A = this chain, B = another copy of it.
Amino acid sequence: MTDRPQNLPKRARPGRPPTLPAARERILDAAARQFAHSGYESSSVADLAAALGVSKAAIYHYFPTKQDIYDAIILDVLGGLSAAVRAEAARAEPGLARLRAFMLAHARYFERHHARFVTMLIGYSGMALPERGDAARLRDGYEGLLREILAEGVRLGQLRTLDVAATGRAVLSMLNWMVRWYKPGGGEDAEAVAAGYYELITRGAQPRP
């Protein structure tokens, strides 16, 4: 933290938070871009401050450590994804239509929050991921929603009897791996990719009579 002189103009008087409009969101957006591009370990609060044109102190006012910024990104993106996808799924008919709604809403959220999504899934390298209880609960709830949708499809006879946990994992694997290859603004959009995955996984690659 930098020392602050005792007599500052009114807009930055002592005790007042550093002025940074929509500060929290701007910090998280810039940090996510940095983490997504270079990885957590190679990113620094100094680089982040430079990218935002503010002092390190202005960032530390909102987030005491780099890890706090990372945690906030993960919780925001997981919470936002869960809420958006849950709402879309609820609007669709149960069964296959709801599975499709889940997959397409997931892809749209990924596309709209690309840097935060990449940060969540590959921004922290290696297997020694920092695991926070609240993030784990959000993720488990999200995976649980998908399993419920699949189980409902089985009950309705729209899906064959299958291992819903393994099938849910297959669906999320295809969607999540997009962080490794998908570039927003390229050819096909993320939603179209997800629609193709839905088609493949429900209809299967073998010819149907």
Contact = CB atoms under 8 A, between A and B. Distances in A.
Nearest to A201: B205
Contacts of A207: 157-160
A48 B205 CA distance: 46
Given A196-B166, A202-B205, A39 B126 contact: yes
Residues of A contacting B: mostly:
helix
A67 interface: no
A22 interface: no
B39 A125 contact: yes
Interface residues of A, number: 51
B160 A206 contact: yes
Interface in A165-185: 166-167, 169-170, 172-174, 176-178, 180-181
A59 to B, nearest CB: 20
Contacts of A123: 125-126
A36 interface: yes
A127 to B, nearest CB: 6
B159 A206 contact: yes
A118 interface: yes
A131 to B, nearest CB: 13
A184 to B, nearest CB: 12
Contacts of A166: 193, 196, 200
Closest 10 CB pairs of A and B: A204-B204, A39-B125, A125-B125, A41-B41, A39-B126, A173-B177, A160-B207, A173-B174, A203-B204, A38-B126
Given A39-B128, A173-B174, 13 more contacts: A37-B127, A37-B128, A39-B39, A118-B127, A159-B205, A159-B206, A162-B200, A166-B193, A170-B196, A170-B200, A173-B173, A173-B178, A200-B201
Interface of A: 35-42, 96, 118, 121-128, 150, 153, 157-160, 162-163, 166-167, 169-170, 172-174, 176-178, 180-181, 193, 196-197, 200-209
